[in-house]
Amino acid sequence: MKNKSKNIFKGGLGQLTIPIIAICLLVIFNLIRDPSFFSIGITHNNDGNIVLAGNLISIINAASELAVLAMGMTLVTAASGGQDISVGAAAAIAGSAFVKVLKSGSGITGGTVLLAFLVACVVAMLFGAFNGTLVAVFKIQPMIATLILYTCGRSIAYWINGGATPTVSGSILTAIGSFIPGIPIPTPVIIVIVVAIIFRLVFHFTSLELFTQSVGINGSAARLNGINSTWIKLLSFIILGLCVAVAGVISVCRLGLINHETILLDVEMDAILAVAIGGNSLGGGKFKISGSIIGAYVIHMLTITLYAMKVSSTDVKAYKAIVIILLVVIGSPVIKSRFTKLMTRLKNKKPEASLKGAL
Amino acid sequence: MKTKKNFLKGPLTDTQLLMTITIGIFVLMYLLAIVFLQGGFLHVQQIFDMLNDNASLIIVSCGLTIVMITGGIDISVGAVTSLVVMACVLYLNGGGNVFMSILLALGIGLAFGLVHGFLVSYLDIQPFIVTLAGMFFARGMTTILSVNPQKAEHEGFTKLRETQIIIPWLGYTAKNGNVVPARIEIGVLVAIFCLIVVFLILTFHKLGRGFYAIGGNQTSALMLGINVKKTRFFAYIFSGLLSGISGFVLMMHTGAGNATNAAGMEMNAIASSIIGGTLLTGGVGNVIGTFFGTLTLTTIKKIVVSSGLNDPWWQSITTGGMLCFFILLQSVVLSRRNKNKKAA
């Protein structure tokens, strides 16, 4: 009986309950406010391609960088029990490296773009390894360790750019940043799907997921069981580095320029939020990547909804904060246990009453 | 006998050791700056300028140190400071009086502290998320109040703002022969007052010892009969109140409200606390260390600027480098100590 009722209140979805409820509420709210909010149209863009257009598409498209970062952040959070607050700065560095390589070549061809992307990946992974070493080897709390890169990362990007904000353009970059000719779905969305599939495959074919969770739940117990917890932590930061490079490159291609000050500004806070909204404990341990992805879309849908309600871009933060607080209060352990107790009491009353009635 | 034995094992607690390292490095760096870049570093005014510019940062860092000692974090402090400046400037320009504006500043700070404390300690939500939301809210409210910079034009306030303590005998003679006296702003006195009060509470008051206890080990603190929830609640209230005070001090320094006021202050405050020897895991830290942490951070920036590295990126790259150095140093020192303890 007890077990059964517990299962019902977990909704059968476990930690995904809150993000899914949140996204449903936002959808319903938007449909009431403006029934045509989610209409999807087909238009021709400037290049003459047939593409999908509409609020929904732009939400999913704009949240791509955040979704990629949130996936990596989930892994770091789960393994180390802390968060990386340097992802925005590291993405600026990766983006700068990407642009630097593109600029140094003669022209922008498929080969140079691939080379630039690989360089960006290596650079971001190196910085990830730097953070990871501080956390895993020197046992420094992740927030403090990544504070170093947070402080100086954007300046390093500025230095790589040589004190300018260079622009890049080319048909391949446009294809990565917006649409591939002939495919109506925005390319960043496809990239997110590919990254998610890669994560899924990695978790399926390796024990990374299990190892990460056990390191996050109890590092020393994991070590006693033969898991190299130092390496797992370091690896999680390196994987986050890869995600950072992908996000940085998407952002550069989307805008066609690299501005060290504004590229993916405040994205670290949003990424951590996405992880938290996704029902993952920020203290490490069990995690679900899917929760974080939904969390990323919740954040962006909230932002776009507020924009659609004519809230100015600087004021959005205040309203966002109220919604976040409401979400975490609903999801807080104290409220949850009160609610469960209340429901159990109601549940227990009913059978008794019916029994009495029957007698 | 017992004290003697402890003395041999190690005369200092972790807190004191980290604090001593910070003070030592600050003095060393300042001496180096005097030797290699004579410039302004010899004048007493240089120290006073550092204090004048950073009074609000010192106050905010004190509050943050308390929260960090309990094992939490408050990243809303900079945003609350900025909101307080904007609200007070608008209130003063709308015809309010100075005394009421001080109350307004304290009220806003207290309100943020109460909400954060309640959500963190009684509803058990992660402090990072709660104060992140607080930060978003405060930044958003600041721009809702006014997107454009607002200058305070209140007469009484301008008088208060321009009041400076002048110490002629600490002044220096400028190149043109004029004697420039040393100047301290009122904000510095407020900052030092806050610093002393927080230090006394942390060292001697029951509540302050409670902060260390719950930061060190929550379960044992509970078993000692400390009301963990209430203590944590108070930590956030302190942090909120000090952010309010810091807002007023910043307003006295800048004299204008601006949406970008105190941008990045939370990270500077966290960096100051860390350099000052506070551990984010809790239980270790001291506001005196934080004070020197702030000064060290400022000295680094000043040295970078005056040593001719004029490119805009050097300042934060060196700050990052120094931060890295301090963090590694602390980590190594503490792990060595723990090994020694285990061996003993």
Residues β-bridged to residue A42: A52
CATH for A70: 1.10.3470
Give a yes or no: residue A8 inside a domain. no
Say whether A290 sits in a helix, a strand or coil.
helix
* Set of chain B residues whose Cβ sits within 8 Å of the Cβ of A151: 267, 271, 316, 319-320, 323
Total-model pTM:
0.84
Query: Does residue A235 fall inside a structural domain?
Result: yes
Res B119 pLDDT > 60: yes
User: SS3 of B241, please?
Assistant: helix
Question: Average pLDDT of A227-252?
Answer: 95
For residue B130, list chain A residues with Cβ-Cβ distance below 8 A.
325, 328
Contact A313, A307 (CB under 8 A): yes
How many residues are present in chain B? 344
Whether B9 has a pLDDT exceeding 70, the answer reads no
B265 close contact with A: CB closer than 8 A: no
pLDDT, position A89? 94
Q: What is the pLDDT of residues B201-228, one digit of tens each?
A: 999 999 999 999 998 888 899 998 899 9
Residue A264 is assigned to a structural domain of this protein: yes
| CA pair distance A130, A89, nearest whole angstrom | 14
Which helix or strand (DSSP H or E) is residue B291 part of?
helix B287-306
Q: Which residues of chain B neighbour A158 with C-beta distances below 8 Å?
A: 312-313
Q: Compute the distance between CA of residue A264 and CA of residue A259 in angstroms, rounded to an integer.
A: 9
Which tens digits make up the pLDDT trace of B80-96?
Answer: 999 999 999 999 988 88
Asked if the structure places residue A239 within a domain, the reply is yes
Candidates B73, B137, B322, B337, partner chain A, best to mutate (most A CBs within 10 A): B137
Q: What is the pLDDT of residue A3?
A: 44
> What does the domain layout of chain B look like in residue ranges?
41-339
Q: Does A138 contact chain B (CB < 8 Å)?
A: yes
Closest CA to B244 of B51, B100, B60, B57: B60
Maximum separation of any 2 CA atoms in chain A, in Å? 90
Nearest to residue A245, comparing CAs of A264, A259, A265?
A: A264
The pLDDT of residue B7 is: 39
Tokens of A276: 């938290």
Provide the residue range defining the domain that includes A122. 64-333
Any CB–CB contact under 8 A between B118 and chain A?
no
For the question of an ipTM over 0.85, the answer is no
Read off the tokens for A224. Answer: 């006693």
B39 pLDDT band, cuts 50/70/90, is low
Domains of chain A: total = 1
Q: What is the mean pLDDT of chain A?
A: 86
Residue B317: closest CA among A264, A143, A148, A161: A148
